[in-house]
Amino acid sequence: MLTQRQGLVVWLHSLKHAKSLRRFGNVHYVSKKMKYVVLYCNQEDIESVMEKINSYSYVKRVDPSFKPFIKSVFENSRPDKAKEYDYKMGF
């Protein structure tokens, strides 16, 4: 059974502590230029993890990802006529 995952964007003052965030979830990306870390954790634990991470002094702020709540099925999408023609021709 797969668990639902949700991303967190953790903005840091310094990247020195980016490695210590691995205990809260899977670190997916670390931006050296903009000083943020993207990590994924279980969706049930998202509130407690945000509170714990936000309490550290090296963290500016924590933003949750809203991707699991966005509808990804589009209703009025029309297929491109040129591509449809190419598929029928067998290109």
Tell me, yes or no, whether 86 lies in a domain: no
Give the model's confidence band at 72: pLDDT under 50 very low, under 70 low, under 90 confident, else very high: confident
Which domain range does residue 39 map to?
Answer: 5-69
**Composition of the chain by helix, strand, coil, percent to 5:** 35, 30, 35
Tell me, yes or no, whether 41 lies in a domain: yes
Can you give the pLDDT at residue 52?
A: 97
pTM of the model: 0.76
Q: What is the mean pLDDT of residues 42-67?
A: 95
Tell me, yes or no, whether 91 lies in a domain: no
Tell me, yes or no, whether 12 lies in a domain: yes
Cβ count near 21 (within 10 Å): 20
CATH number of the domain within which 63 lies: 3.30.70.80
Q: What is the mean pLDDT of residues 44-72?
A: 93
Tell me, yes or no, whether 58 lies in a domain: yes
Q: How many domains does the chain have?
A: 1
Can you give the pLDDT at residue 59?
A: 96
